[in-house]
Every structure is written in structure tokens, then in C-alpha cells.
Chain A
Amino acid sequence: MKTTLKLFAILFAIILIGCGGKEEKKKEGFSYEKKASTEQTKTTESAVPASKQVDLSNKGIGPIKSLTLDAVDQEMAAHGADVFKKMCTACHRPDKKFIGPSPKDILNRRAPEWVMNMILNPDEMVQKDPLAKALLIEFNGSPMANQNLSEEDARAVLEYFRTL
């Protein structure tokens, strides 16, 4: 039996040598999304629900890196109200919790960049941003739909939120 095993081992080694190197090739492909999803062990262990938590420093993940707010631009806000009505009211009501949270006073709880990134890049936000992840769970796993707003329209929606 021992000899057999040895023989087998030798043969196996030959196979490996004979064929080695072949497997290496196909490794690249997509990596970063996959890798990212493995670092999701941290959960916010707070008794305060995500929708009530205040975090003004987190800018979220997405195209908006920094944003300064001036006095409310009423014209922009009016446009934002229109966009909000068309694209968002299926899940958000201005004054109450519906499918998703109400945007009222959102800027007391979130940075403006975070709000814009949540509108513009929801898929990545709910995968990677700790608050967005917690919100997804708090709201029964209802996805934040990507309504493909332009950056300009998303900015207008934000301006509208400031008037609520």
C-alpha cells in the first residue's frame, strides 16, 4: 500500500509539474467590487435607529466629494420639488415615513454630500456606507432605487429638502 501511495504521489507531482502555470492566467477579471463586499463585518451597534442618528462628517461614497451650501435658492428648490414629486414620491413623502424615510430636516442629520451620493449612487452606498447599510435594514430591505437623476437634478432635490 505504501508504495502505491508513493507512486501515486510521484505521478501527481508529475501532473502538477507537467501542467503547472496554466491556472495563473484567468485570475484578474473583476476584483474590486467583490473584495469590497467582504469587508462588511462592522455593523452599527447603536440603539438609535439609523434614520435618527446624526453624522455630519460622513460624506458617503459617490461622485460628490464636497459641497458648500449658500442661502436657499428658491428657484432651484422649486425645480427640486418638481423632480422629487416625479421621481421620488413613490417611496418618500416629505413629511412622514413611507417606504423610505422622510427627507424633512435631513441636513440636521447628514452632510449634504451624503444626501447627494445616496441619490446618485444608491447601489454602492447601501453596500459600503455604514449608515446607508443600516438604513436598508431599518427599512425592511427596501432598496433605495437609482432613478438616474442628473447631478443637477439631485442638487435641486437637495435644495428642496432645505425648504421642508
Chain B
Amino acid sequence: MNTIGKYLLGVAALILMTNCGNNNSNSNSGAMSSSKAEKVYVAPGEHDEYYAFFSGGYSGNITVAGLPSGRMLKEIPVFSQFPTSGYGYSEETKPMLNTSFGFVPWGDAHHPDISQTNGELDGRWIFINENNTPRIARISLETFETEEIIELPNSAGNHASSFVTENTEYIVAGTRFAVPNPQRDMPISEMKGQFKGPLSFVSIADNGRMNLEFQLNMPGFNYDLAHPGRNKSHGWFFFTSYNTEEANTLMEVNASQNDKDYIAAVNWKKVVEYVKNGGGKKVAGTYAHNVYDEKTHTATSTMKEGVISINPVEVEGAVFYIPIPKSPHGCDVDPSGEYIIGSGKLSTDLSVYSFEKVLKAIENKDFVADAYGIPVLSYENTIAGVVKQPGLGPLHTEFDGKGNAYTTFFISSEVVKWKLGTWEILDRQPTFYSVGHLMIPGGNSRKPFGKYMVAMNKITKDRYLPTGPELEHSAQLYDISGDKMELLSDFPTHGEPHYAAGIRADLIKEKSKKYYELSENEHPYAAKSESEATVTRNGKEVHISMTMIRSHFSPDNIEGVKVGDKVYLHMTNLEQDFDVPHGFSIIGANTSEILVMPGQTKTIIWEPKREGVWPFYCTDFCSALHQEMQGYIRVSAANSNTPIKYTLDDE
């Protein structure tokens, strides 16, 4: 046999091996590879089984992916301006980013959570918190648009958020950076005993509207993460805290001194009752409440004043501390509501508390100390069990609904599966690399879907083609339907996906909105047909109500605009069909384009600086004649007498 022959033989053998592998093997090589591919393959034109909503972290937004494919479906702008759609640039959406500090174009999004009914995901809304300028947003899962943002006053570092109680009664916000409350000018070094860590409770109405009900003015520890009790522990909320040392500098050392920090257990039903009976006192606190109206397609921002503040010591039997080893991070409650898992991130063990034991300890007044008047329960009498040496750097735990828990370990870079009740370790799988949160669709509800688990990693390194120093974070999808976790695929995620929420697609997709009804458009400057298109001057303000349809604007020739005018371009998309947005931009506008959905009206401002004839056009390829979808505005000198005139095809 000659060389070519050998070569061909080799190639053929290689094909044979890679194609078919060990069909009879039960190890995870060969055959498993092809079946893994089938498990994540979603054929062209077919849909994914799950929606996954990934926090964008410092992008301020949410990205939506399909599972199991990992394909990115959409980016939903929430706390950050988004020129792709004009969110935060258009006149209608700028108020969404208003705060008590003024317009803030960016946010740090962390933990998305889907609304629940009876402890099960109901797919109405998804909430997400903002850490830097404390806020919570509510996003409609019909339109995938941000509908509401509420700011949290007197707080800083809203990290322990936005977790939803099991009938979407309340959503919480925490304070990760203890601050003076009220804010005042004082020496930083005197923080001990002076700073506070308010926990905010926001109620959710049937129509989704959020209202800041009260703030528990807790001692100045750093409240880091939270989860509501569910099922038997419904009515309680659990918050981890670190820096019980109340250090104010070199925190990585000074906040890691105490052997134990605390989980704060809050009986929120009791506090609600207390407030209902006139408890608490109204204190100062300015915050913006921004609401988007789907009919006017416009957001309004209302500045609110004052919040009910509650001294936790004054509400009998409502607030307790449970000791937990070494700077805890995640605080997760199992589907039955009995087990509360605290991850001491510097501890080598995982502490699991029993809700029943917590209740009993409270009943027996089995307190070992108090912290600023808040009773501290005994560790020994509340602990249900310890998962011994599962890994290094435990962070977060989710559940599969079959009695198993899955915990991420940042330092040892792995996910560990263990059994609730026996605390035995069942399986461990490496992640690539340094996993933060994990997500099982429905994994923090009464009814997890229990089929897939996604690990969200902080470090990417060599997982993808290099793209310069900055890489998108890597996520890994695991099949958790069997005894052992099986790594199926890698996919990149945008920004920093601290956490994600997943839901079976059929719970959302049927009700997903396809377009807005023109007849329901109540925007004051909407032109709902071409006959309603107008140009009106009011001093130096010019309002142009223009329509868009494939493939022309009406009017498309406008005269009488002058240098120094402030021109409001109110664009209405007349289409009434799925997936036919039109875009709009004009040369010299100091803002982004706007993307207008069918039936919607959006506005940008243009302040022409030079005389001339200036073109505008559609930015979204809409039809075969998209390139022709354009028009002109004539701009005359400031002192000219050019009359207002607007036409389409000389009509």
C-alpha cells in the first residue's frame, strides 16, 4: 500500500471513529457526543423548548435565549439606553431612566425572577434589580418591553433582589453597602452602629403595578442575597448578610474576620400586618416611579416622597438572625419550603437550615445573643444538616423537584449535585470556568422543570475563539434528567449574566404580542392614517406627525423648518402585521434612531443647525422598496419666511 492509500485509510478510520464511536459504551465518549449534539439541536424553523432570561449584568439589560439551543433571541433594554430600538433615547422612553439623581443612562442588572402563582411560574412578568442606583424593573412577557421601574430610596447596592413571593405579593430589595440612613455628612470611620441596611418590600398589584410599601431599617450589615419562603415557609423571607464586622475599609480582609455572619429571617406577613395597623413611621426618601403605558406608548416618571420605615426590634416576633459560617452569599429555599441553604463562601461546608426547627427555636425563645436588639437563634438548634466538604467557594443552589439540590462552587469551578435530607453528594461536574449562578428553569419555585441546568461562568479564557482581552461570559448547559449531570454544550452570554430565569416556552409563546392595535393607539401625536399626518409650528417648536408603511413616509417632503427650531418627529407605524417594524433617522440628529413597532408611535428630537435640504430614511430593511423609503426636510434660515408645507406625491 502506498502513502496515499495509508492516508486514505487513516482518514476513513478516523471518520468511522468520530461518526459512530462506541455505540455500546455507556461512558461519556463517542456515541454520547453525537447524542449530545442531538439533544441541543433545534432544527431550522423549529422552536426551543424553554425561554431563558439572562441578566446582562453591567450591560443593564436582559438577554433572552432559547434552551436547549443557547441561541440568543433578543436583548430587552431595561436599565440602559439601547440605540438599537431607541429605548432611553426616544422622548417616550427617556422617563424610564429617570431617578432621584436625574437621568441615569446605565444600570447594573443582577437577578431576574419570573412572577408566580401558587409557587409556580405563571409567565406574566419578569422582574430584575439594579444594583448601583437601587431600582427594580418589571418587564411584560407579552411584549418583552420594560413597563415599570421603581427606585428604592435610603438604600445602596440593591443586590438581594428581585425575588418574588409565591403569589407575586411582594418583591424585595436589599442594601449591600450599608449607608447612613438618612444620608448625612459624617466621618466614614464612625460607621459602626451608625450605618443601616434597609430592606425594602415592594407590593405587586394584579395589573403588575409596584408600590414601595415599607423599609425594614436593619443593622448596617451587607445584605447580599435573598429568597422567599415557599410552600410551608410562605410568608417568610430569608436574607444572607456579610460584614457583620461593620468594617469600612479593606473589606476583603476586614469583613472576613467573624467566624459566623447572619441569615436574616423575616416574617413579612407579620410586618405587613404591623404596617396595616399603623406601625412604622414615615421618613424622608425621594424616589422615581416610572411607568410605561402601552396605549399612549409613553412612559411617565413621578417623583415620590417619603417611605414607611420600620424598626425591626419593634415588631414582635418578626425578625431574627440565624448564624451562618463565613461570609455567606447565596440563600436558597427548596421547593417544599423546609430547607434553607446558606452558602458560606469561605466555608468548606454547606449549611442547611430547617424551617420547622427555626420556628421551634423562635417558639422556645432559644436565643443565643442579640444583635442591635434582634434575637440571634442558635446555629445548632436550627441546622438540619451539613453537606460535608462538597467543594470550595459555594455560591448558589437550585433544585430539580426530585429531591436533589445543585450547588455551584466558584473556587473549585464545579456544580455539585446532592440529596436533600441525606446531604450525600451524588455527582459533580466541572464548569469552564469559575461558575457563579446556576439556573434550572423553575428551579427557585415550588415546581422546577428539572430537565436542564445552565451554569453561568465568570471566566471564559479558552472556551471560544479569542476576541481580544474582553470575552463574553461562557455558559454551560447540562442535561439533569438522569442520575448524573451531563454537559451538553457551551454558549456565550452577553454582559455578565449574574443569574437567569427559565420557563417552559409554551407558558409564554402563545400570548406573545405580534403588533399593537392602531385603533388603541392613544399617543397624543399619533397619526393613525395618512390623512392625520400634520406639521405644526408652535414658536420655535415644530411637531411633525408622520406615518410609516411599506415603503414610504407621509409626508415625505417638508418645508418651513428653520435653523434653531426644535423639531419633534412623531413617527407612527401604520402596519398591522407581525414583524414589520420601521426605523427612522435623520442626518444631524444628536440622538439614536428609533425602531417603531406596528401600531406604535415614537418620537425623536432633531435640532437642525444648518440650512439645506436634509434627508431622512427608514433604518430597518422593510421591503423590496426599503431603499426608497426616504424623504427630505428643507431647513431655511432662522429669519426666513418659508411657509410650513408638507406633501406626499405633491398631495
Name A's B-contacting residues (CB within 8 A). Answer: 1, 3-4, 7-8, 11-12, 14-15, 18-19, 26, 29-30, 85-87, 89-91, 98-99, 140-143, 145-149
Contacts and interface: CB of A to CB of B under 8 A. Distances in A.
B548 to A, nearest CB: 9
A18 B20 contact: yes
A98 B554 CA distance: 13
A15 B551 contact: no
Contacts of B4: 1, 4
Given A140-B625, A147-B575, A29 B531 contact: no
A135 B580 CA distance: 21
Interface string B9-43: 10011011001100000000000000000000001
Given A3-B1, A4-B5, 20 more contacts: A4-B2, A4-B4, A4-B8, A11-B12, A11-B16, A15-B12, A15-B16, A15-B20, A30-B45, A86-B518, A86-B519, A87-B574, A90-B547, A91-B549, A98-B649, A99-B552, A141-B625, A142-B550, A142-B623, A148-B577
Contacts of B19: 15, 18-19
B5, B531, B552, most chain A CB atoms within 10 A? B5
Interface string B543-559: 00001011110100000
B186 interface: no
Tell me if A's interface is mostly helix, strand, loop or mixed: loop
B16 A87 contact: no
28 contacts: A1-B4, A3-B1, A3-B5, A4-B1, A4-B2, A4-B5, A7-B9, A11-B9, A15-B15, A18-B19, A26-B43, A29-B46, A30-B45, A85-B529, A86-B518, A86-B529, A87-B574, A89-B530, A89-B531, A90-B549, A98-B649, A140-B624, A141-B623, A141-B624, A141-B625, A142-B625, A148-B515, A149-B576
B575 A145 contact: yes
B528 interface: yes
Contacts of B5: 1, 3-4, 7-8
A147 B16 contact: no
Contacts of B44: 29
A27 to B, nearest CB: 10
B529 A89 contact: yes
A87 B531 CA distance: 11
Contact of A145 (B43, B528, B549): B549
Nearest to B12: A11
Contacts of A89: 529-531
Interface in B612-628: 623-625
B576 A87 contact: yes
A12 B14 CA distance: 11
Nearest to B623: A143
A143 B528 contact: no
A19 B46 CA distance: 25
Contacts of A149: 576
Contacts of B15: 15
Contacts of A11: 9, 12-13, 16
Nearest to A6: B5
Nearest to B19: A19
Nearest to A11: B12
Nearest to A27: B43
Interface residues of B, number: 38
A141 B628 CA distance: 12
Interface string B572-601: 001111001000000000000000000000
A18 B8 contact: no
A7 B2 CA distance: 12
A18 B531 CA distance: 69
Question: What 7 A-B pairs come out closest when comparing CB atoms?
Answer: A4-B5, A141-B624, A11-B12, A90-B549, A146-B577, A147-B576, A148-B576
B43 A29 contact: yes
A14 B12 CA distance: 10
Contact of B9 (A1, A4, A19, A146): A4
Contacts of A87: 518, 529, 574, 576
A13 to B, nearest CB: 10
B8 A8 contact: yes
B420 to A, nearest CB: 38
B20 A146 contact: no
A12, A29, A85, A143, most chain B CB atoms within 10 A? A143
A8 B9 contact: yes
Contacts of A86: 518-519, 528-529
A140 B649 CA distance: 17
Contact of A90 (B2, B16, B530, B625): B530
Nearest to A144: B550
Contact of B12 (A3, A12, A26, A98): A12
Contacts of B9: 4, 7-8, 11
Given A3-B1, A89-B530, A143 B624 contact: yes
A133 B550 CA distance: 17
A61 to B, nearest CB: 18
Nearest to B649: A98
A1 B2 contact: yes
A19 B623 contact: no
Contacts of B549: 90-91, 145
Nearest to B41: A26
B577 A147 contact: yes
A1, A12, A140, A145, most chain B CB atoms within 10 A? A145
Nearest to B574: A90
Nearest to A146: B577
A145 B550 contact: yes
A29 B12 CA distance: 32
A90 B528 contact: no
A26 B15 CA distance: 22
Contacts of B550: 142-143, 145
Contacts of B528: 86
A85 B518 CA distance: 13
Contacts of B623: 141-143
A145 B580 contact: yes
B530 A146 contact: no
A19 B20 contact: yes
A146 B578 CA distance: 9
A89 B16 CA distance: 64
B534 to A, nearest CB: 15
Contacts of B530: 89-90
Given A3-B5, A4-B1, A14 B515 contact: no
A86 to B, nearest CB: 5
Interface in B481-534: 515, 518-519, 528-531
Contacts of B529: 85-87, 89-90
Contacts of B46: 29
Contact of B624 (A3, A85, A142, A146): A142
B576 A29 contact: no
Contacts of A15: 12, 15-16, 19-20
Nearest to A22: B34
Contacts of A141: 623-625
A143 B549 CA distance: 10
Interface in B37-65: 43-46
Contact of A142 (B20, B551, B649): B551
